[in-house]
Amino acid sequence: MRGPEIITRNQRMKVNMDREGLPFNAERNMSYNSRRAQELSKWAEEKGKGDEIHDALFRAYFEQARDIGDPAVLAEIAARCEVSGWPGAADEKRVAALEASMRGLGISAVPTFIFERRLGVSGAHPPESLAAAMREALT
């Protein structure tokens, strides 16, 4: 008798990304610290470059398997997206406060979905799982 097949987080992400037609490099570590990437995102949003930075970070992380916590990677992304002032002008305290407030709500992973301010689901899940969580939150 064979037990249930164990699927890694990377394998689950690959299945979900393939389903949506999005590229994903499953042969890598997904545990990079993203705080500096969040700081870059906030800075870029204030400069009107949020979309460009978000797209570049997405590609670097999911497609290219790059460490988005590495200052050199982030500096390269900022330069390519023409976001000036990085990293010297980053608001580390504001991002740290936002991160602390999210952890206070029990959010420790992305994506996190909160339904009816009652039920939270963290991580990538298929649509059926999210629909079930929505129904549960309504009861």
Q: What is the pLDDT of residue 13?
A: 73
List of domains in the chain: 9-107 (3.40.30.10), 108-139 (no CATH)
Q: What is the pLDDT of residue 31?
A: 64
Q: How confident is the model at residue 7 (pLDDT cuts 50, 70, 90)?
A: low
Angle at 29 between CA 25 and CA 33, to 5 degrees: 115
What sign does the CA torsion over 93, 94, 100, 104 have?
positive
21-76 pLDDT tens trace: 877 776 665 667 778 888 899 889 988 999 999 999 988 988 888 889 898 999 99
Residues facing residue 112 across a β-bridge: 122
Q: What pTM did the predictor assign?
A: 0.60
Instruction: DSSP letter for 59, please.
Output: I
Q: What is the pLDDT of residue 118?
A: 80
Extract long-range pairs of 120-123: CB within 8 Å, 24+ residues apart.
Answer: 123/9
- For residues 70-94, average pLDDT: 83
